[in-house]
Every structure is written in C-alpha cells, then in structure tokens.
A and B are shown apart, each in its own frame.
Chain A
Amino acid sequence: MVTRRDLLKMGILGSSGFVTLPSGGGFGRVSRFFDHNNQGSSPRLTPFVDELPGTGNSPFQTLTNVDPFSNVQDYAQPFCGPRTHYYEIAVVERNVKFHRDLPPTSVWAYVDKWGGNIPDRLITFQYPKIRLGQQIGGGYLARVHNFLTTAPRDFGFPNVTVHFHGGHQPSPADGFPHDISNRPSSFPAQVTIPVGGFHDYAYPFADVGIFDGPIEEAERPSTYWFHDHFLDFTGQNVYRGLANIAPAFDELDAGDETASDTLALPSGAHDIPLVLMDKTFDISGTMVFDPFNGDGFLGDTMTVNGVVQPYCRVQRRKYRFRFLNGSNARLYQIFATNDLRQTFPMTQIATEGGLLGHPIRNLQSFSLFMSERVEVVVDFADRIFDGQQVVYFENRMAQSDGRKPDGVSSRGTKLVKFIIDPATVDDPSRVPDTLRPFAPISAAELNASEHRSFRFDRRHGVFTINGEPVDIEKPVSIVQRNKGQVWTFSNNSGGWWHPNHVHSEFMRVLRRNGRTPPLNELDGNAKKDTILLKGGDKVVVYVKFRDYPGPFVTHCHNLEHEDMAMMGRFDVVD
C-alpha cells in the first residue's frame, strides 16, 4: 500500500413560477427567461410517452473497462495499481432526442468512448458498480477526452473540466475550474481539457483518513454525480448536457437485496437514479439557453434522466429512487401523487453524504435544491397504494425567478409517471431502522477546531465573500490539513438563495439559524456536501480536510451564481 508519506516523497502531494396545469398534463411555464427575452416557450409536448432511461427497454450502457494506460499523468500514477480499473469517457457534441415529438437537438454529452452504438439520449451510461472502501492502488482511473468542436455555438465553452461531485479525490482530479498560475508545485499547470486533449482523473474510492488515519468508514457517499466545472461557463456547459450520475456501494449497502448480511435495500432494476433537469426548446425543437441570465436559468420543460416527463413500469414492491437535482437554478419540492392529487408517503434513506444514520419515514414531500441528492424508498406494495395503477413524482415548488423560488403550491408539474403492474411479486428488500449510524462530531473535536466565517453578499451587482469579489488565483482561505474547521456561512442577500457546495469532504451541519437543524441534514444523522442558504440564513458546519492537499473550491450551486463568481478557492496545506 502506498502511504501518504510515499506520495509526499514522490513529490506527488503538495508540501504545502410556473402556472399550474390540470393534472396529468403539461409542464411548468413562464420563466423569467421569457419575460426578458421574448423567445416564446417550448413546444407543448405530450407527457409520459418516452420510457425513463436507465429502466426497462431503455437501459444505460455500462462503461467499458479498458486496458491500463501506459502513460497515466504524473499526479495520478501513485493512485494506480493492480486493482485499478481504467475507463475512457468522451466529451462529444451529439444530437439527441429529449421527447418522441422533438427532433434530435445538439447537446454536449459524456459518452463511453468504447460504447459502440450509443443511444440517442442525453444520459447513456453508468460507471460499473463503484465499490467504496478501496486501498490506494484500486479505484478507477477515468481518462476523459474532449472531442468537442471549436465551431461557433449559441452557448457553452468547449474547454471542459470534470468535477466528480461528492467525491474525495486528489485535487488535480477534482475538476478545478481554471488553469491557475498561483498553484502548488505538485499541481499540474493544466487541469482543464482543451479540444483535442484529455485529462486523467484518479478516483481512489478510498475511505477518508486512508493516509494518516483514523479511517472514517461512515464518510461514504451513496450517490455521486459528475459534471463540468469550467470557470465562468459551468452553467452553460452543464445545461448543454455535461452531467451524469454515479451510484456507489460497499459491503453494507451492497446493491444486493437478496444478501441478508447487508442492508438489503432495493437493488438492481429496483434501484433507479432520477436526474432532474429543466430545459427550454425553441419552436424548432432546438435546446436553447440564455447566457446573459445571471439570476439563474429556468427551463420550462421538465426532464428526468434526460427525457421529457418519462414513464416507468414498476412492480408492487419497494423501489429505491436516487434523486439528483441537476438543474442550474430550479428548486424542487417532490411529492408522490396520483391523478386525484392524493399524496403518498416516502422513506428517505440517504442524501449527499450517503446513507442516513436512520431512515426518515412517512415523509410527505421533500425539497431538493441544486446539486442535492435525496434517496427515498417507495413501497408500491404498501396498502396505501391499493387500487392505484398510476403514481407520479410531482414537483410542487413554484419558481418564476432564478434568484429564489416562489413557494410550494397545491399542485405542480408531474415529472415522471409510474405504471404499477398489479401482479403480486416477492420483495426480499428491506429498509432497516438503522442504516449507517455514526456519532456526531464530539465536543472535544469541535473545541479543537478552527472557526471561520463566510459572509455571502452582493454589492455593485457582484457576489462577494466577506465583502470582497473573488479571484480564482487568490484563495479565500488557507486550510490546515487534518485540522477541524467550524465554518459559519451566512447569506446577507435576502432576495437570493444560495445552495453552497464544499468540495473534497462532507460537512456536518451543526446549527441552522441558531437552532438544531432538521433530521435530513443534522449531524449524527446526515452528512452534506451542499447546504441551502435561504435569504438571511446562517448555518454552522463542521468539516475537516484529510488526505488531499491542494486547491479546491466552495461555491454556490446555482450555476449562474457560480459563473458570476460566487465561488471561493480554498487551499488545503500541510
């Protein structure tokens, strides 16, 4: 096993508002985008005519395992070993169909370089089953090629950089937004990928604390996603299609519902990722965007896994749904509903930082802000579903402005339709009362931690952190590796909501506006990589950066805010 000390010796690590529609139909309408740009709205499309990608007759490809590369980039070599799996992802422009009645339209997408006949959908592949808790020398090495065109386009920038969101990976594999001059000697001069180039991403999937210990096995996520992060153009590039989801497993959450020595959560065909994104199409069916909307771009058409309002056939049994808000600026409030507008309870089992300590049962709805993951189990065999043939996930958060939502309304937009097969089936899966229990951060650890404040504001039309506009060459914070941090985030710009994301390590949420946070983010039950700062919110979190030194970023995950420089760089140093 390569130790952190070895890596240091090898010079690898640094020493240093929509109008609601009748049930069953349509999608949200009227965004601020149209108020200002008179583009009209997307063609009206019949919902629920395309199958949900990743299910049934519309499966995802499994990323092709390739032979080890002989020329792995320097920084990544120490993380590669005999157990490392190698993959090649291509970033390409392609035409895909978002709906039966829409013509193929241009997107930028991640595809399996060796995928052969790639479906004409936006999201087409999944990583092979990711196993957490690896030793260094295992994990994945993903080589990402940029095959985009440099030809003129309406939006997007054809340089890319891939952030594996929720991942704990070396800084040069983290998708840093910009090729910086002010960098540690171990940090590559080039981490972004120009057209024709590639970058090697080392994903060790090792536990936090692997180098110096103690190993923190509870710090295991369950649903990653990966997306573009290019400075000032992230929103355009992600909206253009550069986003995908990546479930992860370990011996406890093994993805095998028949294995009784594991949690036996619903698995396989009953474990379904749901990537929510809102898009806008013009009258010709071309996907469009407004690169001058700095408030936050809202699409008027809802897609799930890259398809407009799909359907999915399900059985009478439990399902695990992995929700990801992949939208640039839209916040969701998700309900399970039917055509009579009745709602059905769900059980939340996970969020960004993986499985909760204990499930949150009888959840009537949950909010989902940008980049947030919420995993729920729905049991279609429960008596409450008796007689129900069709159930939807529906978004009832109204939003007409990218700055913040309008509020929860009594009816919303149905995102995905589930057609329930009435036949009785066996269901070996469970949702145990204890999932992945862990202790809250101790008082002793908190006492030994360093305290810092990050005040988000807006001045002269510019987002500021502690009163100053940011500069990617200048860290807003230098952080000692392995030194606990108590960070207070406050949002002083009341008219704006900001989900703030911290890279590299999960946050433990200690206080929200002076009170104990709710169970879905409370330390001791949940770990978060993004926390919502509503107008006026003040949230105190604990975070510790172990293992990987180097530059990382913390930023608002309203991608337009991020691109308007609501992003601070922090450098983890030894």
Chain B
Amino acid sequence: MGRRNAVLFVCGVMVAAVAGGARPVTSAAGQAQSAPSSRLARHFPNVPLRTQDNRDVRFYDDLVKGKVVLINFMFTTCTSLCPRSTANLVKVQELLGDHADRDVFLVSISVDPDHDTPAVLKRYAERYHTRPGWTFVTGKREDVDLIRRGLGVRDNDDQSQHTGMLIYGNEAFGRWASTPVMQSPATLAAIVLRVVDPRANGG
C-alpha cells in the first residue's frame, strides 16, 4: 500500500485520495488556537488571597496563570486527613525534583480562613518543612468558596469533605484533572508530571 505525504486540509477536514490510490491520514488540523480559550477562566476567580509570607496575591494572576499547578484544600486544625495529605505532598514535592518551584507549583488553600491566618499557615508550612514553590493561602471565606466551587469541589458536608482530592493542571495548555491526595507519592508524582510538558512524548 503506497504512502504519500501530501495531505491537504480544508477547514480541518481531510481531503485525500484525489487520484491514484489512497493516501493515509497522517494528521488533521483542528481549529487553530494558541491558548485555552477564556472558557476556562470562570473556573479560576481572580480573587485576592494572602500567602503564608503575608504576601498579597491574586488567585488566577499569581498562582495559576501560565503554570503547572497542584491545588488542594486543607485547614491547619484538621486532625483527620490533612496532616497525612500534607505529609504525602511533601514527599511528592521531593519527587518532583527540579520541577518543583521551576515549572510545577503547589498551592494549598485553607477552607478555614478565619482561623488560618498567614502566621498560622507559616507555622504549619514550617512544621512540614515544605520547600519553595509551595504556597499556602488564606482569604475571605466567600472568596475561598468561589475558588472551591470554580474547581468543582462542592461536597456539602463538613469542610473535611473538601480535602481529599488534588487538582492538577497545566493552565497554558488547558489540561486539568484531579486525583486522590492519598496515593503513593511516586504514583502521584508520575501522574501530575504527565501534564508538565504536553509536547513531550511519553505517558
């Protein structure tokens, strides 16, 4: 079976087999698009937050835009899942190696913002020896709720119901998914690294 390279595109639809035998589909063009459209923007309310270093940031502009980011919800007085999940993410951050703070960032958002002041978050981060590239944030409760709902975290019971999933994504490429925080750190690191460079081959 002959294979030829010449392939024409019209409106993204393959035109092939013009004459003399079948030409294979080798690729096909979709709609040209340089960045994910504003359709995803509604998921990232650009609300003001404050970091554990008392820095004022905007959720979208400063923590998400153009980044690969791992996002979880936590609160420092949580005694059930949060301590284990934070400890697990510390190991994930180690496994991210050079990616951490270079092209992969962690954001932990307190769902108990009234209690979790920047100073409290700072002590919490220090207790777990988190490394650069991991931002703990607090803010107005309604702003945190906006983020939570934007990211689809909306179980209605107590706030610990918001703490089990890790949302990960590559904002520049529009790839977003989530996965349980409490998997082995190696599995988690492998899963999230898939979205770091979508141009690279390899699953």
Which A residues have a C-beta under 8 Å from some C-beta of B? 36-39, 64, 66-67, 88, 90, 92-96, 104-106, 111-118, 120, 147, 149-159, 161, 178-179, 181, 190-197, 230-233, 236, 282, 286, 288, 290-295, 458-463, 468-474, 563-565
Contact = CB atoms under 8 A, between A and B. Distances in A.
B80 to A, nearest CB: 7
Interface stretch (B99-107, B112-120, B154-162): B154-162
A38 to B, nearest CB: 7
A472 B187 contact: yes
Interface of B: 1, 11-17, 22-31, 33-37, 39-40, 42-43, 80-81, 149-155, 160-165, 167, 172-184, 186-187, 190-191, 194-195, 198-199, 201-203
A114 B40 contact: no
Most buried by A among B42, B163, B176: B176
B8 to A, nearest CB: 11
B106 to A, nearest CB: 18
Contacts of A114: 1, 22, 24-25
Contacts of B160: 460
B30 A95 contact: yes
B178 A293 contact: no
B7 to A, nearest CB: 10
Nearest to A194: B201
Contacts of B175: 153, 156-157, 233
7 contacts: A36-B149, A94-B29, A112-B25, A115-B16, A152-B35, A156-B175, A193-B203
A68 to B, nearest CB: 11
Most buried by B among A161, A288, A461, A565: A461
B163 A461 contact: yes
A115 B15 CA distance: 10
B176 to A, nearest CB: 5
Given A94-B28, A292-B167, 4 more contacts: A94-B14, A153-B36, A460-B165, A462-B180
Nearest to A65: B1
Q: Taking chain A's interface residues, is the majority helix, strand, or loop, or is none over half, making it mixed?
A: loop
A66 B203 contact: no
Nearest to A104: B11
Contact of A152 (B24, B27, B33): B33
Nearest to A155: B174
Given A232-B179, A461-B161, A471-B184, A93 B29 contact: yes
Contact of A150 (B17, B181, B199): B199
A117 B15 contact: yes
Contacts of A194: 201-203
B30 A118 contact: no
Nearest to A89: B25
A496 B194 CA distance: 29
B17 A113 contact: no
Given A150-B198, A179-B203, A104 B28 contact: no
Given A159-B203, A565-B179, A106 B30 contact: yes
A90 B24 CA distance: 9
Contacts of A118: 13-14, 16, 25
B174 A147 contact: no
B16 A38 contact: no
A20 to B, nearest CB: 27
A158 B195 CA distance: 10
A284 to B, nearest CB: 10
B191 A232 contact: yes
A37 B146 CA distance: 12
A150 B29 CA distance: 12
B87 to A, nearest CB: 15
Nearest to B153: A461
B128 to A, nearest CB: 18
B30 A152 contact: no
Contact of B201 (A67, A113, A195, A459): A195
Nearest to A64: B22
Contacts of A472: 183, 187, 191
A192 B160 CA distance: 35
B194 A157 contact: yes
B127 to A, nearest CB: 21
Contacts of B43: 292
B178 A93 contact: no
Contact of B33 (A153, A230, A236, A473): A153
A35 to B, nearest CB: 10
A181 B179 contact: no
A294 B152 contact: yes
A105 B13 CA distance: 11
A191 to B, nearest CB: 8
A460 B161 contact: yes
Given A157-B175, A292-B43, A147 B28 contact: yes
B165 A292 contact: no
Given A114-B22, A154-B39, A564-B165, A469 B30 contact: no
A192 B31 contact: no
A329 to B, nearest CB: 13
Contacts of A190: 202-203
A551 to B, nearest CB: 14
B186 A473 contact: yes
B67 to A, nearest CB: 14
Nearest to B43: A292
Contacts of B202: 179, 190, 194
Nearest to A290: B152
Contact of A232 (B14, B42, B162, B177): B177
Given A92-B25, A117-B17, A294-B152, A106 B180 contact: no
Contact of B17 (A37, A94, A116, A120): A116
Given A157-B194, A196-B201, A115 B25 contact: yes
Nearest to A474: B184
Contact of B176 (A90, A150, A292): A292
A469 B40 contact: no
Contacts of A473: 183-184, 186-187
Contacts of A92: 14, 25, 27-28
Contact of A564 (B23, B178, B199): B178
A95 B150 contact: no
Contact of B173 (A152, A197, A292): A152
A135 to B, nearest CB: 26
Nearest to B173: A152
A152 B1 contact: no
Contacts of A115: 16, 25
Contacts of B201: 194-197
Contact of B177 (A181, A291, A468, A474): A291
A169 B180 CA distance: 29
Nearest to B23: A116
A118 to B, nearest CB: 6
Contacts of B165: 294, 460-462, 564
